[in-house]
Amino acid sequence: MIEIAGCPTTPETTDPRIPPRDHVVTRHLLDRWVKTQPDKVFLKCGDTGEEWTYRELHGKVARAALGLQQLGVAQGDHVLVWMPNSRECVITYFAIGYLGAVYVPINTAYRGRLLEHVVDLSDARVAVVHCDLADRLREVSLAKLEAAVVVGREVPVSGLRVYGWEALCPQSGMLRALERPIEPWDAQQIIFTSGTTGPSKGVLTSYLHSFTAASVDTWPPITADDRFMINMPMFHVGGVSVLFAMFARGGSASFIERFDTASFLETVRSTGTTAVFLLGVMAGFLEKMPARADDADSPLRVVYMVPLAGDIEAFAKRFGCEVYTIFNMTEISTPTHSEANPVVRGTCGKVRAGVDVRLVDENDCEVPIGQVGEMIIRTDRPWAMNSGYYRNPKATAEAWRNGWFHTGDAFRTDAQGYFYFVDRKKDAIRRRGENISSFEVEAEVTAHPAVREAAAIGVPNEISEEDVLVVVAPVEGGTIDPAALLEFLRPRMAHFMLPRYVRVLPELPKTPTSKVLKHELRSEGVTADTWDREKAGIQVKADRFTKTSG
């Protein structure tokens, strides 16, 4: 039997902007739910149909927390977690929080120098690692790591004390009291940025940050009666923030290892899922599947689609749901939110209550409505956004300039208050004096029925600046004719945006969170298999095509 020592009590803040601990903090929340709704189902597993009530979750988490404590983990310590989505990952996530320690997950694709970088940056002495990943630890410096719980088969790692999962399943013992109550502003986790263009940065996230990012105020359609599908990795904010949002609401989550287009609707039905987050590429995959008469026959009622893709009205009708969109990133807390089934093409919604947003130039001067500027943000609630980049004061200072957080993303807004994502500042393409949004090019390219996914990048022009290269992948069983694609795009975009180059691949290279690895495509550039419209004799001038002779 696991015994849990009582926690010290101290007065809570009277600041009305900060909810009580048992509304925000993992340990205090779980203790509250096990008293008030012990038999409510919190988790439904997509592969087996297994269900965990809040009482069962509490038992599993308390055992794992005791196991971590026996390995030396104390309040405030960092624990490295390197696992795919799994039951063990969910238990570990909550157990770390139950101790008041800090969850530090890392991307399952990491290896070599990048793996070594995040292991060192984590400052963790204890790790929980899947057996299929543990071998990679032999290739790198282990920094402060001393012990690892390896999930699955036994994998010895030189320099580490290695334990099996049973180390986190003790059947008896005393879980010591906390040194102090866990506060809403304490660090809950360090989430690493994707690292697709450089070394990953560790985003320090407080409980208040996680709570605010997907709270009732920021995601109003989601209630405690919903079951939200976790289909993003738990080393990504799209995975952990949704799980924590449903936990904080006292709601329910369904859980899958990864998104699969073919089985998606059946999984929704079998798990009773009512809400899901879909990247635009995921929604596009679903939209381009052959329609079936029972597509709308499921409990799904809310889809968060980021960014908006395709015909939203048709998507909502086909799948029997309401579609919303937002803008968010690991460092912030959902500053914009749309109405249901937005008819404004390309929007990411309007600014929510409790947050200030400005679009500014390189000197932080606000740009006029309709002009493109970098989005900067601040919130009314303390600790409602990131607490900086861990052990990276230079990046923290650069991002938090003049009292505002700088997103690095370019937007424009209209007179009605709608915001429109233009591009990551680093992804913008410069061609003949024009700034081109890769995001807008990709949106038009993927509108072609034969295109499943696309990435637009800039490649060096022979004279100066850049030309547009689009890398595309066809729908299953389909083919893409570059000349026909160009003709399709002509009436849909300005002439200077039309791609010079088209490269067709079976699939675009991606991170485990489905972000296209544009730096790989840029480094490959114009390959031997890339189609060039100029070599094909097609010229583009002021929106007119002319075929050159001879």
pLDDT tens column, 462-487: 876 789 999 999 998 899 999 999 99
Gap between the Cα atoms of 219 and 240, Å rounded: 15
Per-residue pLDDT of the chain (550 residues; tens, 9 = 90+): 899 998 888 999 999 999 999 999 999 999 999 999 999 999 999 888 899 999 999 999 999 999 999 999 999 999 999 999 999 999 999 999 999 999 999 988 788 888 899 999 999 999 999 999 999 999 899 999 999 999 999 899 999 999 999 999 999 999 999 999 999 999 999 999 865 445 789 999 999 999 999 888 899 999 999 999 999 999 999 999 999 999 999 999 999 988 899 999 999 999 999 999 998 878 988 998 999 999 999 999 999 999 888 899 999 999 999 999 999 999 999 999 999 999 998 899 999 999 999 999 999 999 999 999 999 999 999 999 999 999 999 999 999 999 999 999 999 999 999 999 987 777 778 786 667 878 888 988 999 999 999 999 999 888 767 899 999 999 988 999 999 999 999 888 878 889 999 999 999 998 766 778 888 898 899 999 999 999 999 988 654 334 443 3
Residues 6 or more apart in contact with residue 343 via CB below 8 angstroms: 312, 313
What sign does the dihedral 33-383-98-100 (CA atoms) show?
negative
Q: Which fold has domain 237-423?
A: Rossmann fold (3.40.50)
Do 2-6+36-182 and 237-423 agree at the fold level?
yes
Residues 7 and 182: beta-carbon distance below 8 Å: no
Half-sphere exposure (Cβ direction) of 150: Cα atoms closer than 13 Å: 18
Separation CA 97–CA 36 (nearest Å): 20
The answer for residues whose C-beta is within 8 angstroms of residue 465's C-beta and 6 or more apart is: 430, 431, 432, 433
Between β-strands 466-474 and 501-504, what pairing exists: parallel, antiparallel or unpaired? parallel
Cis peptide before 307 (omega within 30 of 0): yes
Rounded Cα distance, 71 and 255, in Å? 28
**Helix, strand or coil, per DSSP, at residue 2:** strand
Q: Please name the fold of domain 2-6+36-182.
A: Rossmann fold (3.40.50)
User: Are 305 and 340 spatial neighbours (Cβ–Cβ below 8 Å)?
Assistant: no
Q: What angle do CA 207, 212, 215 make, to 5 degrees?
A: 115
Bridge partners, residue 351, by sequence? 336
* Cα–Cα dist 405/485, whole Å: 39
How far apart CA 59 and CA 50 sit, in angstroms, is 16
Query: Order of strands, edge to edge, in the sheet holding 336-337?
Result: 326-327, 336-337, 350-351
Residue-range domain boundaries for the chain: 2-6+36-182, 237-423, 431-547
Rounded to 10 degrees, the C-alpha dihedral 302/304/310/313 comes to 30
Q: 431-547, superfamily in CATH?
A: ANL, C-terminal domain (3.30.300.30)
* CA 534 to the chain's CA centroid: 39
Query: Pairing mode, if any, of strands 336-337 and 400-401?
Result: unpaired
CB count, 10 Å around CB of 350?
A: 18
